[in-house]
Homo-oligomer: A and B are copies of this chain.
Amino acid sequence: MRRVPTPRRRKGFSLIRLLAGGICNTDLELQRGYYGFAGRPGHEFAGEVVESDTQSLVGKRVVGEINLQCNRCLWCRRGLGRHCPSRTVLGIVGHPGAFAEFLTLPDANLHTVPARVSTEHAVFTEPIAAACEILDQVRIPRNSPVAVLGDGKLGLLIAQVLIKITGAQVCLFGRHPEKLKIAAAAGATTAIATSKLPQAEFDFVVDATGSPEGLRAATSMTRPRGTVIMKSTVHGKVGIDMAPVIVNELTLVGSRCGRFEPALKLLQSGKLQLDAMLSDEFALADAPQAFARAAEKGVLKVLLRA
């Protein structure tokens, strides 16, 4: 940690004082050199607006969408600025991240946090939005058999979101009994992922393992005509046998960031089990220790406090 000068606020941007940030696996991967981003990390945060051209935002507790769009291209005009080819991404691509005393984001990216949502829970808005993105892409009927692979932070949020919003019959496959308990408390059935996974049993399978094996397992667990939702950004080439995917007419859906509105609505409902997912917290000045802690096996969300 070094003291950095308060960033210059561009027109249309707010200056935000960090309240708390969350360390995501992507941050750990950035540290390992993926994405070629050497700047300041941090894209999960809650903060307070200290300066803005939008006066109604000043003093408000906010969270912020992480994609900074150009507002001019086809994608931005279609309302899909998250896919703007010239976008920068907070703490990931070309825009300094949230793990600092101050950050800037366009006013249009900001959402005020409802009063009843705590700052610690607000930090989960971004990954909850990523979980909710599935619902914008795929219609999952009530009581559908859904498998979620991976009991990491994202897998646990996806399992909870699918249970609360779709009423699907979610089974979470993971390797950590203590993490599976969190999903069980939220209404999922759970199973330890072994080498013998069920074959062709689920209409929907979400891969949130973060590993190439996850996608291979997901395709074999999906019923003919079923859907695999790919939530693991795996680096490098994945060797996958596409013949059964074609013969069984599976649909594979890549899924990434989501809108913040449904995430904030879910947070406000208080229906998600988030306290059990908070493993530890550190002062911003102790960010290196926080990153080391977040990288430990079995650890879930680690917060950074300003």
Task: Check: A241 CB closer than 8 A to any chain B CB.
Answer: yes
The 24 listed contacts between A and B (C-beta, < 8 Å) are: A75-B224, A83-B224, A83-B225, A83-B248, A83-B249, A137-B251, A215-B242, A233-B243, A233-B246, A233-B247, A237-B240, A238-B239, A238-B241, A238-B242, A240-B240, A242-B254, A246-B256, A247-B256, A248-B254, A249-B255, A249-B256, A251-B253, A251-B254, A252-B254
Task: Check: A271 CB closer than 8 A to any chain B CB.
Answer: no
The answer to whether B247 touches A253, judged by C-beta atoms less than 8 angstroms apart, is no
Task: Check: A125 CB closer than 8 A to any chain B CB.
Answer: no
The answer to whether A239 touches B242, judged by C-beta atoms less than 8 angstroms apart, is no
Task: Check: A230 CB closer than 8 A to any chain B CB.
Answer: yes
- Shortest distance between the CB of A23 and any CB in chain B (Å): 21
Q: Please indicate the chain B residues that have their CB under 8 angstroms from the CB of A83 in the complex.
A: 224-225, 248-249
The answer to whether B224 touches A80, judged by C-beta atoms less than 8 angstroms apart, is yes
CB contacts under 8 Å to B, within A248-281, are 248-256
Which residue, of A234, A236, A241, A249, has the highest number of chain B Cβ atoms within 10 A? A249
| Complex: A120 Cα to B38 Cα, angstroms | 63
CB contacts under 8 Å to B, within A201-224, are 215, 224
Chain B residue nearest to A250 (CB atoms) is: B254
Task: Check: A245 CB closer than 8 A to any chain B CB.
Answer: yes
The answer to whether A225 touches B80, judged by C-beta atoms less than 8 angstroms apart, is yes
Q: Please indicate the chain B residues that have their CB under 8 angstroms from the CB of A239 in the complex.
A: 237-239
| Complex: A24 Cα to B165 Cα, angstroms | 46
Report if A251-B251 is in contact (Cβ < 8 Å); known contacts: A237-B239, A238-B239, A239-B238: yes
Task: Check: A200 CB closer than 8 A to any chain B CB.
Answer: yes
Report if A240-B243 is in contact (Cβ < 8 Å); known contacts: A224-B80, A252-B251, A254-B249: no
The answer to whether A236 touches B241, judged by C-beta atoms less than 8 angstroms apart, is yes
The answer to whether B233 touches A85, judged by C-beta atoms less than 8 angstroms apart, is no
Task: Check: A77 CB closer than 8 A to any chain B CB.
Answer: no
| Complex: A206 Cα to B80 Cα, angstroms | 23
- Shortest distance between the CB of A228 and any CB in chain B (Å): 9
- Shortest distance between the CB of A88 and any CB in chain B (Å): 14
Task: Check: A142 CB closer than 8 A to any chain B CB.
Answer: no
The answer to whether A232 touches B215, judged by C-beta atoms less than 8 angstroms apart, is no
Which residue, of A225, A232, A254, has the highest number of chain B Cβ atoms within 10 A? A254
Chain B residue nearest to A224 (CB atoms) is: B83
Contact among B231, B232, B245 for A254, CB-based, below 8 A: B245
Chain B residue nearest to A249 (CB atoms) is: B254
* A137-B249, A238-B239, A250-B254 given; 16 more Cβ-contact pairs under 8 Å: A83-B225, A83-B249, A230-B246, A231-B246, A232-B242, A233-B246, A235-B243, A237-B241, A238-B240, A238-B241, A240-B240, A245-B254, A247-B256, A248-B254, A250-B253, A252-B253
